[in-house]
Amino acid sequence: MDTIRIANMRFYGYHGVDASERDLGGRFHVDVELGLDLSRAGESDNVADTVDYKAVYDLVARIQSENRFQLLEAFAHHIANAILSEFEVQEVTVRVRKMSVPLGGLIDHAEVEITRRPK
């Protein structure tokens, strides 16, 4: 299986457990890894034989902007399920990072990673 990675998509969103996080918003970064066979695209050099990166980005951006998730887990889950519904991939891994997390101390970010396959 081959891999396409779209790394560090950056968004400003209104996700979080605390109401203040959903009101004020914050920075979120998303990585997507798609597992699929890329041999046909490698031979043809035709975008129709692979997954369109812009279409994946647009899908993630739409999910991010149209929702207010409490949990990073739900955010990542919705992205993974949408990708599996929209694109012909054998596996998807999604990482969602929240850059400002109110934990009472200093951290770089909190991150959730999930991997899903078609059912």
Catalytic residues: 98
Q: Smallest Cα–Cα separation from 70: which of 29, 18, 17, 118?
A: 17
Please check whether residue 45 is in contact with residue 99, taking contact to mean a CB–CB distance below 8 angstroms. no
Query: What are the residues whose beta carbons fall under 8 Å from the beta carbon of 36, sequence distance 6 or more?
Result: 1, 2, 4, 51, 88, 89, 90, 91
